[in-house]
Amino acid sequence: MSDATLHATAHNPDDFAVQIADQIESFLVAVAEVAKGDEPDSAVPFLLLEVSQLLLAGGRLGAHEDIVPDERYEPDLGPEPDVDELRENLARLLEPIDVYSEVFDPYEPRKSPVPARISDDLTDVITDLRHGMAHYRAGRTTEALWWWQFSYFSNWGTTASATLRALHSVLAHVRLNQPLEELDGLDTDQSMGDETLEFEAGRVMAEEIGEPLGVRPAK
């Protein structure tokens, strides 16, 4: 039986809603804890895990039949909570690897990669999720599920997927000893041979990016 059928709202809405809300709440809490910077050594691996788990919830919402809200117009939730402090804390924590390149839509031809920031992406996702959580906590379960499903397709699903690829790339580069082409602080002395430069790049990357963010290269 498919997930969409198993968890159809007409059959058992409470279980499905609770499970989705729990996964989203877990993500919100986890990212806020990471942003505090108390454990920078585990930041990237932990964010990779949390974004992966969030996308599981998104996949379930995406596979679900269309959720229709109870009311024609969305109730006013008031001003959105400020996320500037969270964004700034994440940007400081992830500074060596915050900026990455992303192709906005892989099915649109001839689109060039655009720069993005993990810190911006995470706070963008959190803004969408908090909006739905406000409905959920107010007892408007169907409204919350509708919003999470709609914004998954329109925004946070794509954004979280891009963030996941960026985090995965950081881990892969370091653990597979594959240096990035550009790295601040890398010594590019022309007297070095290609093999020496490659080795030095991997070493510097591990020290300047890997170790501060809790990523260890393969031995």
Three-state SS for 138?
Answer: coil
Identity of the residue numbered 150: F
CA atoms within 13 A on the CB side of 87: 12
> What pTM value is reported for the model?
0.74
In this structure, what token pair is assigned to residue 192?
């070095």
Note the pLDDT tens digit of each residue in 113-161: 788 999 999 999 999 999 999 999 998 999 999 999 999 999 999 999 9
What pLDDT is recorded for position 12? 53
> What is the C-alpha to C-alpha distance for residues 121 and 33, in angstroms, rounded to an integer?
17
Name the stretches of the chain with pLDDT < 70.
Answer: 1-14, 75-79, 110, 180-219
What pLDDT is recorded for position 124? 96
Contact 60, 20 (CB under 8 A): yes
Residues 6+ apart with CB under 8 A from 155: 124, 128
Note the pLDDT tens digit of each residue in 75-84: 666 667 789 9
What pLDDT is recorded for position 178? 73
Contact 121, 162 (CB under 8 A): yes
Question: Quick one: 176 exposed, middle or buried, by C-beta within 10 A (0-12, 13-18, 19+)?
Answer: exposed
Contact 119, 127 (CB under 8 A): no
What pLDDT is recorded for position 113? 77
Question: Quick one: 106 exposed, middle or buried, by C-beta within 10 A (0-12, 13-18, 19+)?
Answer: exposed
> What is the C-alpha to C-alpha distance for residues 58 and 153, in angstroms, rounded to an integer?
9
